[in-house]
Amino acid sequence: MLTPFTRLLSCSITSSLQPGVWLVGLAGVNTPEPPWSLTTFMDGIRLEEGTLLYFGYLCMIIGLCLFMGLFGFTQSVYSRDLTYRHWAFYLWSNFMLFLTALDFSFKLGLFGYDYRPWSSVVQFLVQFSYLLFISSFLELKLHYLTLYQSVRRLQWVILAGAFVTSVAVSMRGSLLMRKVVDGCDVFMFFTDLLILLLFVRIVKAGIPQTRLLIIGSLGALLMAVLAALVDQLNIRQVGLYPVDPLIIFSVGVLFELTFFSLALSQRTRLIQIENQRLQRDYTRQLEQDLAVRVATIHEQGRLIEEEQIQRLTNDFNQKIAETEMAALRSQMNPHFIFNCLNSIQFFTARNDTANASDYLAKFSRLIRLVLENSRSEHVTLANELETLQLYIDMEAMRFQQKVNSQIIIDDNIDTESIQIPPLLLQPFVENAIWHGLMHKSEGGMVTVHVTQPLPSRLQVEITDNGVGRAKAAEFKSKSATKNKSMGMKVTAERIALINQLYQTQTNVKIIDLTNAVGHPTGTKVFVDIPV
């Protein structure tokens, strides 16, 4: 920690053991070469009980700093936390400080003859490691960049002092070494003062987790001041109890190390709490995300299930519509064939073999087309018009050429590429012949006009010049009634199913034609087919 008096205190250790030696050291007078080494000291010297306790006390502090430093270094390797590594560096610096004090107090010869140069280097090391630990512990680089830069500059100053002192130590016994070592007292006091001012700035900054560091540092500072006062006033005993400046200083160091250890423990605990909080938050977030995903999956599953149900329903409805279409086509075909057989029966009854043979040839061709078309949902317009022309020809033969017909196709229409439902137009032509032309003695004309006003729409106009719908209703022909109840009804149902199945709009519009005075002149049927 802050050690403005450690240089003076290190020299004052010997005052209780060898009075006057530390003064000689400060004056720069050469002292005799130590007559023994650590081995001879441990083997042959006889220590008094108090001196032995003093020796054991210093060894205890040295061992404590050494092994706590090893623990801190191990912790840094395990946790990958540089703060523990810097803490170990600070503990080992204190280890070296007390080791030099032990060497000087008992003349162990661990650092050679001259103790003072090594003591100065170690004190610089303590200052540097203290700043390194404080900066890392408070995370100044991350949160307080200005303070961190100040600490870094002060560390460079301390390193410069340590480097100069180390160079001087290499010149053993030279006058330059003595002057440099003597000048270290003033330089170290200056750096201690800068550390104290920097510490005040850290306190004023209100940085979190500094309370235990403040207590430990202030305790060490107060004990160091007390030790210096005891040494300066040459107080060696209070009542019956002996007083030693190094003991007082070491108590301050132990106090500081204790509170620094507590601060590290508190920091570790806060990190664990923060990690646990982050883990809880992360777990909670995962649970929320999982709940959202589960809800999303359930919703998607529900939508997919509804979509599948809707698709199956649509497929089922389409199958039903297709089945109904097939059923209606199967109803249409027998109805049409029944009418053709009636015509053949008519020719046979009249013994008209020529017309019967011609009619049978047309009928066989027509029946082949009808059977082929009944298997398909759509046929080409050319196929439908061919079937329609054969039907009209057969009806004209039946009614002894009283039925004339005309099929007009616009030039822009490609009859081979356009497809429409099979036998869609035949019932309207049949209705025109049976309801309109059959009741006229002279017969009439059926005109089929095919146009394509739009690429997606096909229009067919079926016009007859028969008696009209109102007059046909008056005759109440048995065959007409039967035909109407079959062909037109089936066609209407087919058109409704086509619109439902293919989502189209096939429209049929019937117009009664009249002359200038209002007499009926026929019927026109508009069939609008999407293509």
List, in sequence order, every residue forming a beta bridge with 460; answer none if it has no partner: 450, 527
Res 487 pLDDT > 60: no
For 237-288, write each residue's pLDDT tens digit: 766 667 778 888 888 889 989 999 898 888 888 888 888 888 888 889 999 9
Structure tokens at 253: 């160091």
Per DSSP, the three-state class of 511 is strand
Beta bridge partners of 461: 449, 526
Tokens standing for residue 209: 């987790």
Q: DSSP state, 378? A: -
Percent of the chain scoring above 70 in pLDDT: 76
Residue 490 has a pLDDT of 67
| Average pLDDT in the chain | 76
Q: Give me the percent of the chain exceeding a pLDDT of 90.
A: 9
Scanning the structure block, which residue is given the tokens 């497809």?
A: 419
Per residue in 23-58, pLDDT (tens digit) is 223 223 333 344 444 444 444 444 455 677 888 888
**In the predicted model, is pLDDT for residue 213 greater than 70?**
yes
In angstroms, what is the C-alpha Rg of the chain? Answer: 60
What digits encode the pLDDT tens for the residues 62-103?
999 999 999 989 988 888 888 899 999 999 999 988 888 887
What integer is the mean pLDDT of 122-131? Answer: 88
* Both tokens assigned to 132: 């390194």
Residue 387: predicted pLDDT: 86
pLDDT band at 461 (very low <50, low <70, confident <90, very high): very high
| Residue 529 backbone dihedrals phi, psi, to 5 degrees | -120, 125
pLDDT at position 44: 41
pLDDT beyond 90 at 463: yes
Q: Does 18 score more than 80 pLDDT?
A: no
Residue 12 has pLDDT above 70, yes or no: no
What span, in angstroms and rounded, lies between the C-alpha atoms of 292 and 437?
74
> Is 509 within 8 Å of 463 (Cβ atoms)?
no
What is the per-residue DSSP string for 139-195?
THHHH-HHHHHHHHHHHHHHHHHHHHHHHHHTSTT-HHHHHHHHHHHHHHHHHHHHH
- Residue 214 identity: I
* This model's pTM is above 0.95: no
DSSP states along 246-266: HHHHHHHHHHHHHHHHHHHHH
Residue 225's SS3 state is helix
Q: Which residue has the higher pLDDT, 510 or 424?
A: 510
Q: Where are the alpha helices (DSSP H) in 350-380?
A: 353-374
Can you give the pLDDT at residue 425?
85
Q: What is the mean pLDDT of residues 299-311?
A: 85
